């Protein structure tokens, strides 16, 4: 597609429920990143996918968080047993492969998650 | 020490002013550098890449100092529409994971 697409744009869930957030990257971008941004805070790295390599999960805050990327394209971030501190905007970004000239990341509009 | 550090501001300047932001990074192996702009409740958007030789795009000039490990952004002739948060981004090492500073808030007033 023309840009990174994320869905849903907003999600309100009850504490303890599971949620799935979806990201569709720019066509041709093999690198995909998930970040989290809490109100008034900076971007916190969560997980990184590059092609068929094993993902870098070093930023995931707990084992309640997981992500997958099927077919090297669409990615799903899953949060199990949501807690109120999970409330944030979850941003997905994609880029061309590392080592190429244009490695800047392009962001989707984010999913605003509210846990009540 | 955080990987990427910025003065959070806010920088409050009148229209037409020149304003400069600095950003320091801790990983000397960092390879790619960018400035992003983020408007309130919006996603970050690329403002400009930062090259070793420095680069200019209209009213915006970015500089990289590898020896001191900092990058800068200069905005000349500030416009009201420049009001936003400016994020310093550094891609480090083989993983190229973009690491973001917390951003510097700019408010341009009439």
Confidence (pLDDT) at B40: 93
Residue B40 to residue B35: CA distance in whole angstroms = 16
Q: What is the mean pLDDT of residues B87-103?
A: 86
pLDDT at B51: 86
Q: pLDDT of A19-42, one tens digit each?
A: 999 999 999 899 999 999 998 888
CB-based contact A93:A36 (threshold 8 Å): no
Contact B43 A56 (CB under 8 A): no
Other Cβ atoms less than 10 A from the Cβ of A55: the count is 17
| pLDDT over 60 (residue A1) | no
Whether B34 contacts chain A with CB within 8 A: yes
Position A101 scores a pLDDT of 64
Reported as a pLDDT band with limits 50, 70 and 90, residue B29 is confident
pLDDT of residue B94: 64
Q: What is the pLDDT of residue A49?
A: 94
What are the tokens at A67? 């992500």
Spell out which residues of chain A touch residue B94, defining contact as CB-CB under 8 Å.
98
Put simply, whether B90 touches A (Cβ < 8 Å) is no
d(CA A20, CA B98): 24
Contact assignment for A41 to B101 by CB distance below 8 Å: no
pLDDT, mean of residues A82-105:
88
Confidence bin at A100 (pLDDT 50/70/90): low
The answer to whether B94 contacts chain A (CB < 8 Å) is yes
Distance from CA of A16 to the nearest CA of B (A): 26
Residue B52 per-residue DSSP state: T
The whole-number pLDDT of residue A18 equals: 98
Other Cβ atoms closer than 10 A to A80: 13
Q: What is the pLDDT of residue B87?
A: 97
Which residue's structure tokens are 């998650």?
A113
Three-class SS of A45-89: EEEEEECCCCCECCCCCCCCEEEEEHHHCCEEEEECCCCHHHCEE
pLDDT in tens, A45-84: 999 999 888 999 999 999 999 999 988 799 999 999 999 9
Average of per-residue pLDDT across B66-92:
95
A66: its two tokens: 């997981």
CA distance A62 to A80: 10
User: What pLDDT, in 10s, does the model give residues B31-73?
Assistant: 889 999 999 999 999 999 998 888 999 999 999 999 999 999 9
Q: What is the per-residue pLDDT for A116?
A: 97
Beta-carbon contacts of residue B54 (< 8 Å; ≥ 6 apart): B61, B62, B63, B64
Residue of A27, A18, A25 lying closest to A49 (CA atoms): A25
Chain B residue numbers with beta carbons less than 8 Å from the beta carbon of A110 are: 43
Strand partners, A36: A44, A90
């Amino acid at each position: 597609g023309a840009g990174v697409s994320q869905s849903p744009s907003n999600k309100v869930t009850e504490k303890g429920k599971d949620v799935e957030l979806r990201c569709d990257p720019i066509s041709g971008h093999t690198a995909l990143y998930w970040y989290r941004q809490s109100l008034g805070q900076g971007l916190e790295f969560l997980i990184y996918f590059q092609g068929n390599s094993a993902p870098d999960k070093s930023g995931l805050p707990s084992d309640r968080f997981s992500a997958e990327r099927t077919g090297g394209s669409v990615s799903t971030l899953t949060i199990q047993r949501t807690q109120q501190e999970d409330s944030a905007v979850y941003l997905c970004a994609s880029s061309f492969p590392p080592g190429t000239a244009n490695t800047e990341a392009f962001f989707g509009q984010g999913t605003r998650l509210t846990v009540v | 020490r955080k990987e990427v550090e910025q003065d959070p501001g806010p920088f409050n300047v009148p229209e037409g002013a020149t304003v400069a932001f600095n950003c320091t990074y801790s990983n000397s192996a960092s390879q790619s550098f960018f400035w992003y702009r983020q408007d309130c409740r919006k996603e970050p958007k690329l403002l400009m890449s930062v090259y070793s030789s420095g680069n200019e795009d209209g009213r915006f000039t970015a500089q990289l100092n590898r020896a001191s490990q900092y990058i800068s952004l200069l905005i000349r002739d500030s416009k009201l529409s420049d009001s936003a948060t400016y994020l310093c981004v550094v891609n480090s090492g083989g993983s190229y994971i973009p690491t973001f500073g917390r951003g510097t808030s700019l408010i341009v007033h009439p």
